[in-house]
Amino acid sequence: MPTNICDFWTLHQMSINHKYVNALLEIANSSSAANSAKKIWRKELEKYRSSTIFGPKSDTASGNRLLRVNLEVMLEAAESIFGPAEMGSELYTTPGYHNEVPNSGIKTTLESPPRLMLIINQDAVTWEDAFYEIAHEVIHLLSPVIAEGGKPPVATLDEGVAVYFAEYVYEKYISSYTGSHPSLSPRGLGPNHRAYANAYALARKLNFEELRRIRDEFSGFPYATDPYRLLSLSAGKLNIEEARSLSAIFEYKRA
């Protein structure tokens, strides 16, 4: 039985990690990945079900492995809904934090040839925060558009679907045990994130099957820049102004 505040805190961390790992196991078990991949994920995750792992920013070997598995199962989940990723470059499979990159995004490593790397928002201090940010960024990994030193010129639809997917998987797997919405959702982060919230509101007018057809038609969400083609693929759920908004180049604002 715990005897002091530190013991209670350790048990709290343990229960949170246990539920988080269970969420990843549920995604892995329900995935359409090859049985060999699912077996590896299950073996890796089972090791963490009864252990305490410090937060995702701790940069420990076990924490980094858990981030890697999170990315792998989340990317597979996104591919099963929207189709295979077309990265064009190898993926560095362990996402991480970078002191000089405060926001989440897809960057390239300094290797030759460079690899793609998922950077996590510095504000993602809990495993649930990291889950949400990784879920958002895997949509960008489906058809990466890299603009080093700046923001990529992508259709607003790309960011809308990224928020849509992140909100969907968070509500399905994380909110079920936290009882709360994602703390980093752009819906509650103020005016600097309003563009994301607006993109999400329009993207969610379409179901995932319709969005997959749109991705196939444009060869990627970032390239859905023709409002009339987008309108024709929307099954009557968008009007022309909404199609123009989603097909416009997304306007990033400094947070």
Residues 153-212: pLDDT tens digits? 999 999 999 999 999 999 999 999 989 999 999 887 666 789 999 999 999 999 999 999
The runs of H, that is alpha helices, within the chain are: 5-30, 35-46, 61-82, 127-142, 156-173, 175-178, 194-203, 208-218, 227-232, 240-247
b/e per residue, 120-148, with b = 16+ CB within 10 A? bbeebebbbbbbbbbbbbbbbbbbbbeee
**pLDDT tens track for 114-136:** 899 999 999 999 999 999 999 99
CA distance 170 to 180: 10
Would you say residue 126 lies in a domain?
yes
Query: Domain residues for 180?
Result: 5-247
- Mean pLDDT, all residues of the chain: 88
Name the more confident of 87 and 225: 225
CA distance 168 to 77: 12
Burial of 180 (0-12, 13-18, 19+ CB in 10 A): exposed
d(C-alpha 215, C-alpha 221), whole Å:
5
- C-alpha 245/C-alpha 242 separation (Å) is 5
* 72-96 pLDDT tens trace: 999 999 999 999 999 888 898 899 8
Q: DSSP string covering 32-54, please?
A: -S-HHHHHHHHHHHHTTTTS---
Residue 93 covered by a domain: yes
For residue 27, what pLDDT is reported? 94
d(CA 178, CA 168): 15
Kindly state the percentage of the chain with pLDDT values over 90: 61
Residue 65 falls inside a structural domain: yes
Q: Decide if 190 is inside a domain.
A: yes
Domains identified in the chain, total number: 1
pTM, two decimals, is: 0.90
- Report CA 106 to chain centroid distance, whole Å: 11
Is residue 208 a part of any domain in this protein? yes
